[in-house]
């Protein structure tokens, strides 16, 4: 039987590989989703919420969706979470997570199989982490979901039945932050928030969008909770975030 012509050979499928890199001497674990075609694709780095990991459903779904469109996606566990090193209550701060995100970007720059065009995706505290890292990384596109711009709402939402270490984290001076001064310098941002979020009030989304520079967009999902559990909200988030990141392919 003759060999199939080149036009009949199916393109390689996107792949996902485990990765590890260091931040402040801690080993961080994650997964890099790579497109099946193209050389040095643009890449989006995800930052998860306070008690979550890089295996969050939102990140996994977005990583698969973007890699199918030609954009790589790195999702990883911040220090003290999931498969990464560190004691959660001791190492969890916004600055620590910002440094994790910077380490992830450095790791990608040294790989050689992804391009320099960078996007960021952050959910809840991960959104604040992306806002805090914007000035250092200057991502071409940024999507934040249910993100706080300061720590007040997180403190107010602290579970009174949480263990002693977790309560100590919420009340510790080193955990407090206010990103208001950073917001006017941020641009190319899509802000997504549920209108019924009882953890981070929707006023945070409105403030982030109001203070950020152009281009920017605000997407409020009617009756959406903090985790956007309803399928239609998840589908809307996925579609709008992917659309916002597509310009990474044009540069």
Strand residue runs (E) in the chain: 15-23, 26-34, 43-47, 72-76, 118-123, 141-145, 189-194, 216-221
Max mean pLDDT range (164-168, 199-203, 208-212): 208-212
Q: What is the pTM of this model?
A: 0.92
Q: Tell me how far apart the alpha carbons of residues 246 and 133 are, in angstroms, rounded to a whole number.
A: 21
Tokens 């970007």 locate to 105
For residue range 160-188, what is the model confidence (pLDDT) as tens digits? 776 777 777 888 888 999 999 999 999 99
The structural domains of the chain, ordered by start, are 14-250 (3.40.50.1820)
- Name 194's Cβ contacts closer than 8 Å, sequence gap at least 6: 146, 202, 220, 221, 223, 224, 225, 226, 228, 233
At 94-142, the pLDDT tens digits run 999 999 999 999 999 999 899 999 999 999 999 999 999 999 999 999 9
Q: How far apart are CA 16 and CA 39, in angstroms?
A: 16
- Of 142, 210, 140, 216, the closest CA to residue 180 belongs to 210
DSSP string, 78-108: PTTSTTS-S-HHHH--HHHHHHHHHHHHHHH
What is the tens place of the pLDDT at every residue in 219-234? 999 999 999 999 999 9
Check residue 1 and give its pLDDT: 46
| The pLDDT of residue 243 | 97
Higher pLDDT pick, 12 / 2 = 12
In sequence order, the β-bridge partners of residue 145 are: 123, 192
Which stretches of 35-140 are assigned E, i.e. beta strand?
A: 43-47, 72-76, 118-123
Pairing type for strands 189-194 and 216-221 reads: parallel
pLDDT at site 223: 97
* For residues 33-43, average pLDDT: 89
Question: How high does pLDDT run on average in the chain?
Answer: 92
Q: Contact at 8 Å (CB) between 40 and 25?
A: no
Give the number of other Cβ atoms within 10 Å of residue 26's Cβ: 18
Phi/psi of residue 194, nearest 5 degrees? -85, 140
């Amino acid at each position: 039987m003759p060999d199939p012509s080149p036009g009949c050979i199916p393109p390689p499928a996107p792949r996902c590989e485990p990765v590890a890199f260091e931040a402040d001497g801690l080993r961080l674990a994650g997964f890099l989703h790579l497109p099946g075609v193209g050389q040095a694709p643009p890449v989006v780095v995800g930052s998860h919420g306070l008690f979550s990991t890089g295996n969050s459903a939102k990140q996994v779904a977005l990583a698969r969706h973007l890699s199918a469109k030609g954009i790589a996606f790195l999702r990883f566990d911040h220090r003290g979470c999931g498969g990464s090193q560190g004691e959660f209550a001791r190492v969890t701060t916004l600055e620590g997570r910002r440094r994790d995100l910077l380490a992830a970007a450095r790791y990608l720059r040294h790989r050689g199989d992804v391009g320099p065009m960078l996007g960021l995706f952050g959910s809840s505290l991960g959104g604040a982490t992306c806002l805090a890292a914007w000035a250092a990384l200057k991502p071409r596109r940024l999507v934040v979901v249910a993100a706080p711009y300061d720590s007040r709402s997180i403190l107010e939402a602290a579970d009174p039945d949480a263990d002693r270490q977790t309560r100590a984290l919420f009340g510790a001076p080193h955990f407090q932050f206010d990103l208001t001064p950073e917001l006017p310098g941020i641009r190319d941002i899509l802000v997504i928030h549920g209108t019924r979020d009882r953890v981070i009030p929707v006023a945070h989304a409105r403030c982030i969008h109001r203070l950020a520079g152009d281009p920017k967009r605000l997407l409020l999902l009617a009756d959406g909770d903090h985790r956007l559990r309803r399928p239609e909200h998840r589908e809307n988030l996925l579609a709008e975030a992917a659309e916002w990141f597509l310009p990474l392919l044009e540069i």
